[in-house]
Amino acid sequence: MRTAILTVLLCFALTPAASAASFDCNKASSFAEKVVCSDSRLTVMDDELGRLYKAALASAPKNEALHAEQKAWQAARYRCKDSDCIMQAYTDRIAALKGGAGAGVTGTYTMQGGEVRVQQANGKMRFFVSATHAANVGEVSGEAPLAGDAASYADKDNDCALAFKFSGETLAVIQDGTCGVGLNVSGSGTYKRTSTVAPKFEE
């Protein structure tokens, strides 16, 4: 009798919880879904993300941007090839839905003639700045330490210094130097966040 009980308990322990994720684990088909269902840490994160997303929808049911961001995030998660990528995707999206520090940094910011992509990770921010002036186009990318809502980047070889200041849904950028971009092209300006989804960077 004792052996039978132990066997049943062991089966429960080894079986992924079908209700542990925001989707049915019994119908998981993609690599990402299978990983989420087999990793208890990810199932907990998926539960949290599901609750946060439902709460966000309840407070703004006609928020088309929220729907679009969630779909974009799901597409990005499906592109992951390992559990670390999936874990980072959940970490970023949860932070964005909570509206915490990560949400104030990670995302895409735009203004007329310019775009800034930012990804926060481990106390640093990876960035890509694209700016235009008439027919001239310039791009600057790099990584800078993040201190609260501000970051500074310097590249003496390319006569470039960039200061980033985040405030709610806006990002102020100040460029000092040519940064090796086109004539009269500058990334300076105030950008508005248009997406909280972790952006893509050219490798």
Is the domain of 115 the same as that of 150?
yes
pLDDT over 70 percentage in the chain: 85
Out of 9-23, 106-120, 129-143, least confident range: 9-23
**pLDDT band per the 50, 70, 90 thresholds, residue 115:** very high
Is the domain of 117 the same as that of 77?
no
Query: What's the pLDDT tens digit per position in 64-94?
Result: 777 888 888 888 888 889 989 888 888 888 8
pLDDT of residue 61: 67
Is the domain of 118 the same as that of 62?
no
Query: What's the pLDDT tens digit per position in 3-54?
Result: 443 343 334 334 444 445 677 888 888 898 999 999 989 999 999 988 888 8
Among 132, 141, 147, 145, CA closest to 160: 141
Tokens representing residue 92 in the block: 């970023």
Is the domain of 94 the same as that of 12?
yes
pLDDT over 90 percentage in the chain: 30
Is the domain of 127 the same as that of 188?
yes
**Predicted TM-score of the model (pTM):** 0.55
Is the domain of 7 the same as that of 93?
yes
* pLDDT of 63 higher than 80: no
Is the domain of 21 the same as that of 58?
yes
Contacts for 50 with CB less than 8 Å, ≥ 6 apart:
21, 22
201 belongs to a structural domain:
no
**pLDDT band per the 50, 70, 90 thresholds, residue 189:** very high
**pLDDT band per the 50, 70, 90 thresholds, residue 102:** very low
Among 174, 55, 187, 65, CA closest to 116: 187
189-195 and 107-111 beta bridge pairing:
antiparallel
46 belongs to a structural domain:
yes
Is the domain of 23 the same as that of 45?
yes
Is the domain of 142 the same as that of 169?
yes
Exposure pattern of 81-112 as b/e (b: 16+ CB <10 Å)?
A: eebeebbebbbbbbbbbeeeebbbbbbbbbbe
- Which is higher by pLDDT, 50 or 182? 50
203 belongs to a structural domain:
no
- Mean pLDDT over 123-132 rounds to 91
User: What is the C-alpha separation between 76 and 107, in angstroms, rounded?
Assistant: 13
By residue count, the chain amounts to: 203
156 belongs to a structural domain:
yes
pLDDT of residue 200: 82
Structural domain that includes position 68:
2-98
Domain count, the chain: 2
pLDDT of residue 17: 44
